Chain A
Amino acid sequence: MLESLALNAGRPESSSAETLKDLCQRLLELNQNDDGGWPYQTGLQSAVEPTSWAVIVLKNYPEHSEAAGRGVAALKSAQLADGSWPARAGHRAGCWPTSLATLAIFLHEGSSEPVRGGLAWLCDAWPAEGSVWWRVRNWLRPTSSVTRQDSSLRGWSWTPGAASWVEPTAYCLLLLNAIPGNLHPSQAARRKRLGEAMLYDRMCPGGGWNSGNPQVYGIAGERRVGPTAWALLALREYASRPENRQSLDWLEGAWPHISGPLSLSLAHLCLESYGRPQTGFEARLAAFYETNDFLENILAAAISLIALREEEERPFACHRHRTAV
C-alpha cells in the first residue's frame, strides 16, 4: 500500500487536499491491470465500473493520458455486440455499468460507435415492472399495501429483467445529461422524463433516497447518503424544486455522521454542486485513509479524486448551479 499520509491536525486543508490527490492518483496508477482496466480493489481482476471511473477521473490529467487511453481501449474491448457492457469483461450479459462505460468513452472521444451503441442499448432496456407479465402478476397479487410507489414510472434496473432502482437510474440520467440532445436516440427524451419522475416518486418522505424503497408497510425507508447524492446529482437541473431542497437538507444533516470515504466524497460532490459545501471534507477523508487505506477500494479513490478537484475541473459535472439553494 502507499505510504502513510502523515497528516497532522494543524496542517492546512489545502495541503491535505494536495497530498490526498497525489495518493489517490498513485493508487490509480499502481492498480491499472495489464489489460488496461482497473479492479475494484488492489490485486483483483479488472471490472467495468472502476475502469469507467478511473478513465473519467484521469480525463483531465495529461500526464495520465496514456493510462486513460489504455483504459478506454479496455472498455471498448469489453463491450458486447448488443452495445451493452457486462460487469466484467467476458461476462455474457450487459447490465448497469453500461451507463458509466458509455459516459467514460464519451468524455474521452465524444460521440463514437461504442457510445452510440451504449446509448441505444440503455434506451431500449426497460425494467421489468410495468411489463404485461408484471401487470398480470400484480393484479393477481397486489403489493400496493406493502410498498408505496408508482410502478408506471420506470427508470433503469441493475440487471435485465429486474425492477428500477435509484442508483442505476441516476447513472443513466447523468449520462443523458452529459451528452448533447442531438446525439440522443429517439427514445431518450421519454426515458429521461420517466426516469426523473421515477426518482421523485421513490424519494423517501421528508427528502432523501435509499436504494429505492421509500416506504414499506407504511414505514418510511431509511435514507442513505449514496443514493441521495446520486439522485440529487442526476436531478440537478431541478435545483429549485422543494424535493431537491428537502433532500439537500437531509444530506447536510447526515454529513457529520458519514463514516466511509465513498459516501463522504459523494456527499461533498453533491452538496458543493448545489452551492452548499460543508467544512472538513479533506481532513475527514484523510482520516479515513489513515484508518483503513480506503480498504484499497479503487472506486472510492476515483470518486474521492473527483471530489478533491476544483469544481471546474470535475469531468462529469454537467449542469452546475452557481446559486445556493
Chain B
Amino acid sequence: MSYAISQIMPSFQRPPSRVAIRRAQAYSADLASLIQETVCELGLEVRHKSVLLKPNFVEPDPAGIVNTNPAVVGAAREAFLRLGASGVLVGEGPGHERDTEGIVETIRLRDHIGKLAGKFVDLNLDDVELVPLRTRASKLRELYFPRTVVTADVVVSMPKLKTHHWVGATLSLKNMFGIVPGSCYGWPKNTLHWAGISQSVLDINSTVRPDFAIVDGIVGMEGNGPVQGEAKHCGVLVMGSDPVAVDATCVRIMGLAPERIDYLAKAAAVLGHIDERQVPQIAENINSVRTPFQVLPSFEKLRASQPGI
C-alpha cells in the first residue's frame, strides 16, 4: 500500500531508483506488453493486490492532447491484470470540470477498458477519509482523500508529459492533485493553490505516494500547458517506482532541469531522487530520446543549461 511512513526518507539513505524509458512511437503499439515487461523488470509486485490507475483526465479533449491517452490507460489495466492483480480500477477527479462522464466519454475511455461501471471511479465524488499529512510543507495539516485511493494496495500515477503554466511541468507528482476530492474542495481545488502548489504537491505525495508511475510521453504538450499548449510528439513511455525520479527523468527529456522546478527540488529532499547519478536508466537513455519542449517565456529559466543537467 502506498500509505507507508517508510517512503519518507532523506535522499542519501534511499537506494538508487531505476527508471525505464521505453520507446513507443504510436498509441497503436503493443503498449500492454511493454508495460507488463517493464513492471516485471522493475520488480513491482501486484499479484493478488488491488491496483488504482490514476490518469490525468482534465477536460473534454477530442483532439487528444490534454489528457492521458486512454490507450495507455487501457494497456496498463491489461498489463496489471495479466500480472495477477486482484482488480484494477481507473480513478480520476478532474480539477476544473464537474461532468466527469462528459470527459471520459469524449476521450472514449470505454473503448479501451470496456463498460465503465465497476471499473471507473469519479474520485471527486467518492467517500472520503480525513488523513493527516505526513509533511508540513504547506499550511495544510490534513486533507480528505477518496476511500478508493486510501484503500488501494497499489496506486499508479499516469500523467501526460506536459508543461504547466504555473509550475513548469506537470507529471506524476502534480497528477496526484486529482485525488483531492472536488466534493470537499471544489472545482478547482483552490485550497491547494492558496496553500502553495509546490508545497501541496509535496504534502499530498508524502502522504499518498504513488507506488508506480507511467508517464504518457508518446504525445506530450509543450508551451502553455497543461491545457492550452501544443501537441509534441516524443514517442516514449517513462516508468518507475520512484515518482520523483520518473518526473526528473521526464523533465530532462523535455530539456529542462529538475533542480529548477520548485516542487521537484522539494520532493528530492524526502520523497525520491532527482540526481541523475541516483537514477539509472533501463532501455533508452535520456540523450537518445531528448526532445526539447517549448515553454512560456517566464519558464525559460528552467531550461537545462547543458545536456545531462
Contact = CB atoms under 8 A, between A and B. Distances in A.
A260 interface: yes
Contacts of A211: 96-97, 187-188
Contact of B102 (A1, A165, A168, A262): A262
A293 B117 CA distance: 8
B227 A222 contact: yes
A53 interface: no
Contact of B190 (A47, A163, A225): A163
Nearest to A42: B117
Contact of A295 (B96, B106, B117, B127): B117
- Between B115, B125, B188, B194, the greatest number of chain A beta carbons within 10 A of the residue's beta carbon is seen for B125
Contacts, number: 132
Given A211-B187, A226-B98, A260-B102, A163 B194 contact: yes
B101 to A, nearest CB: 4
Nearest to A88: B128
Given A162-B194, A168-B186, A295-B116, A219 B101 contact: no
A255 interface: no
Given A45-B127, A226-B98, A295-B117, A219 B224 contact: yes
B120 A295 contact: yes
Contacts of B102: 225, 258-260, 262-263
Contact of A1 (B99, B117, B122, B193): B117
A217 B296 CA distance: 9
Nearest to B184: A87
B96 A224 contact: yes
A219 B103 CA distance: 22
A278 to B, nearest CB: 16
A226 B186 contact: no
B185 A159 contact: yes
A262 B100 CA distance: 9
Given A40-B183, A295-B122, A161 B194 contact: yes
A165 B101 contact: no
B228 interface: yes
A260 B120 CA distance: 15
B60 A210 contact: no
A210 B96 contact: yes
B122 A292 contact: no
A297 interface: yes
A91 interface: yes
B191 A162 contact: yes
A323 interface: no
Contacts of A288: 101, 105
Contacts of B191: 158-159, 161-162
A296 interface: yes
Interface in A101-131: 128
A288 B100 CA distance: 13
A260 B187 CA distance: 17
Contact of A260 (B99, B110, B127, B144): B99
Interface of B: 59-60, 96-103, 105-106, 110, 115-117, 120, 122, 125-128, 130, 144, 165, 183-188, 190-191, 193-194, 224, 227-228, 296
8 contacts: A40-B183, A159-B185, A165-B186, A165-B190, A167-B187, A217-B224, A292-B117, A295-B122
Interface of A: 1, 39-41, 44-45, 47, 49, 87-88, 91, 95-96, 128, 157-159, 161-163, 165, 167-168, 210-212, 216-217, 219, 222, 224-226, 257-263, 288, 291-297, 299-300
Closest 5 A/B residue pairs (Cβ): A158-B186, A260-B102, A40-B125, A162-B190, A260-B99
Given A163-B190, A216-B224, A259-B99, 9 more contacts: A1-B117, A47-B183, A91-B144, A224-B96, A259-B105, A260-B99, A260-B102, A261-B101, A295-B117
